[in-house]
Structure 1
């Protein structure tokens, strides 16, 4: 057998093997998902990435013709395309497969419940109010060496997922492949009170579904522009994080605000840093958060805020930002569609988050190693996630903290709502179209 035939055979077998591996992995993950929580995401990965690999394989024989040199060139091109599909699939597969690790299983089971409860609660609220929400799965939490939780934003793929010279492919994939993800710090495995921040992170993904096409950004820009000045674009860029802050408040209450403080509080100069990309200066963000909590009837955010010192060169810009807060808060709390706002979708009740309220009572149960008796569903899960954060603030003994971690993980998981959870079967036509588009992008340079 000559070298050319061997080369062509091995390239074809490699591409076909990739398709089989994706299908086998999908079957294995489905078997480990009896509630079908990830059914839509898994089917979409199989249909889209596996389908793209299948189309690349089908195009290979016609390309592997000509002189030996031309055939070797074609083999390298097609192996590179298969490697790109494998890279994309592996990025998602590694996140799912963390659930097979005994060291991560309990924490991720609880994280799955919290993420699903935030998502399901708000989506059900939207559907109950007649909002046109597309069916979509809850985000997939995974553990990562990050300092704070991070949603994988659909318009900002992480470096690890960015294949060289394939930005347009990623844009198609992330925006339309229904596999939203959220990275959690590795510490969430032993500090489950950090799961309270999933209200914020899932909020990022819900904004895409509830306010598509940059509607929130435009709304905030309009509110700021109406007040005069040239900073509407900055506030439009910050609006996504502020909406996520609101999502955290209406799903997790005051615990969400308290959980954000360690990431924002700092020395005087750091509080005035306006060069943080998606975020306003910490002083400004916390002022918005405090104003939102006040308007929602929540307990005050636990830190005094004031004006920037007049001696700081950034004082004028920060004061201007602070002057926009009321208008921005009005825009964030405004209706998503018709008269309905985010608080309506969440069924938000501020009394649950005050002393003596439901969260306070659940925190007491967790501290006694109890809880979840007869409770289930999204409100119970979110209530105990918030209660875990409240309970942690009352402990100093390391052994008691460890017991609380175990209890919180067990109770959140025990509150799981029974029944199937998939967002409906992934639309085969939609998956097929996306697979065809990805294959077309992969093969665009083919003669």
Structure 2
């Protein structure tokens, strides 16, 4: 070993410190550029939070190099310790770049950039409404981004984001979970079919359930349990186990109307055996046939026009299936679940925060869908003119109109494409002035210290 040339400890430390210096410059330059760019005005508070947090973490790594330089360790110990700190520095860099790539989607001037900016306004509309109605402080709003997936997913501080899969990703996922900036991944197909942005409503609903009130998750489950209290054991067990997803479904229906069900139908449609099956342990959603019936019952309970298929309709579909289409035991369970669906829907609408039930928290109003009906026709016209864009519900009305326009033009590619372009143009102009900032500045010192402990203090390799 002594015959090999070995970099002296001081040079080895200098090498590692140079990478920290470069990372600090990379982070600072990006935030300087983005903070001055009005296209990113929605996220100025996000940037304050992230800059403080990443600055704290980089400083912590640098301090460890200072301690190492004065430790009096052997050359071998210095080399090994530098490699460990280099890995931690790489972890910080990967985490920063994960966020940077999400925000930078808005830097594009082509259609994908415009679509994600349209999504921002829909996210903001869905996010601000319940906090404003409830009169409670609002955390930082969700960061939406386009992902190469066929559906949408949120990361409401409960899971690792879907695009983190490398060995250290569990640690980065925990960082993302703890940082007060929730994220929503949207399907990349939204670029070509912008009506898919309707999925924002469901995903934002997850964040609202976790952030609007600390007791909301529990109260939702209790309401569902109460609705099925007199049912058989299977039904009493299964419905409450789906409480997170059915709350998000209820939030979506009350925010954007029956447009929410159209997206679920497209995502879930398949042969009978894929629509009705025996739920497995850990399934987050009801089987698709039951979930679609829930959408119809939610819309009916909320008084929406044309609520779509409900429990009775889906039961009729099940009864008309040819023999063997669905296993008899599964068909029996599905009928029992469907028999409780209307009660579950009504119970969801009674869930309250601060004395305000879920329809009111979502800003449900007849006027919103009257506007959507009017805009639906305009979306398939050349150079349409829309009025009333600068209101909080405007983006929700726009996406409801967009889904309806798409459904009406499903067999006409020219009108369908026109509706999509007009929808994106409409969404980016929706909403009053505002940002996705929290009502109150978060404690950045505490957050930065805690997350520095997490990333810098993670298990070395």
Fold shared by both chains (TM-score > 0.5): yes
- CA deviation map 1:325-362 (0-9, x unaligned): 24432431123235311211223124654xxx321111
> Could you tell me which residue of structure 2 aligns to residue 101 of structure 1?
108
> Could you tell me which residue of structure 2 aligns to residue 219 of structure 1?
222
> Could you tell me which residue of structure 1 aligns to residue 425 of structure 2?
410
The offset of 1:98, in angstroms, is 0.9
* Structure 1 position 89 matched with structure 2 position 96: yes
* Structure 1 position 387 matched with structure 2 position 387: no
CA distance in 2, matches of 1:191, 1:414: 18
State the SS of the aligned residue for 2:250: helix
CA distance in 2, matches of 1:374, 1:291: 30
- CA deviation map 1:155-188 (0-9, x unaligned): 11125336646746743x3343122221111121
**CA distance 1:384–1:237, shift in 2 (3 Å):** same
State the SS of the aligned residue for 2:185: strand
The offset of 1:264, in angstroms, is 2.1
State the SS of the aligned residue for 1:306: helix
The offset of 1:317, in angstroms, is 3.1
CA distance in 2, matches of 1:267, 1:393: 21
* Equivalent residues of 2:137, 2:439 under 8 A apart: no
The offset of 1:253, in angstroms, is 0.9
> Could you tell me which residue of structure 2 aligns to residue 130 of structure 1?
none
* Equivalent residues of 2:229, 2:236 under 8 A apart: no
Q: Aligned-residue CA RMSD in angstroms?
A: 2.6
* Structure 1 position 313 matched with structure 2 position 329: yes
Question: Which consecutive residues of structure 2, in runs of 5 or more, have no partner in the other structure?
Answer: 1-5, 320-325
* Equivalent residues of 1:294, 1:300 under 8 A apart: yes
**CA distance 1:234–1:20, shift in 2 (3 Å):** farther
* Equivalent residues of 1:40, 1:424 under 8 A apart: no
The offset of 1:50, in angstroms, is 2.5
**CA distance 1:282–1:381, shift in 2 (3 Å):** same
Q: 1:3 aligns with which of 4, 8, 21?
A: 8
The offset of 1:414, in angstroms, is 2.3
Following superposition of structure 1 onto structure 2, how do residues 16-165 of structure 1 map, counting pairs within 5 Å? 16-33=21-38, 36-64=41-69, 65=71, 66-103=73-110, 104-127=112-135, 133-161=136-164, 164=167
* Equivalent residues of 2:292, 2:309 under 8 A apart: no
Q: Calculate the TM-score normalised by the size of structure 1.
A: 0.88
* Equivalent residues of 1:113, 1:413 under 8 A apart: yes
The offset of 1:229, in angstroms, is 2.2
> Could you tell me which residue of structure 2 aligns to residue 346 of structure 1?
362
The offset of 1:375, in angstroms, is 2.9
* Equivalent residues of 1:143, 1:184 under 8 A apart: yes
State the SS of the aligned residue for 1:42: helix
State the SS of the aligned residue for 1:141: strand
* Equivalent residues of 1:40, 1:422 under 8 A apart: yes
The offset of 1:424, in angstroms, is 4.4
* Structure 1 position 286 matched with structure 2 position 292: yes
Task: Give the aligned length.
Answer: 435
Q: Relative to structure 2, which stretch is displaced further, 72-81 or 300-309?
A: 300-309
**CA distance 1:264–1:445, shift in 2 (3 Å):** closer
* Equivalent residues of 2:130, 2:361 under 8 A apart: yes
> Runs (4+) of structure 1 moved beyond 4 Å?
165-169, 230-233, 307-311
> Could you tell me which residue of structure 2 aligns to residue 440 of structure 1?
453
Following superposition of structure 1 onto structure 2, how do residues 128-277 of structure 1 map, counting pairs within 5 Å? 133-161=136-164, 164=167, 167=170, 170-171=173-174, 173-212=175-214, 214-216=217-219, 218-220=221-223, 222-223=225-226, 226-227=229-230, 229=233, 232=236, 234-273=238-277, 274-275=279-280, 277=283
* Structure 1 position 362 matched with structure 2 position 364: no
State the SS of the aligned residue for 1:377: coil
* Equivalent residues of 1:372, 1:415 under 8 A apart: no
Question: Which consecutive residues of structure 1, in runs of 5 or more, have no partner in the other structure?
Answer: 128-132
CA distance in 2, matches of 1:361, 1:263: 27
State the SS of the aligned residue for 1:182: strand
- CA deviation map 1:140-159 (0-9, x unaligned): 22111110122123211125
CA distance in 2, matches of 1:218, 1:246: 13
CA distance in 2, matches of 1:445, 1:398: 54
State the SS of the aligned residue for 1:143: strand
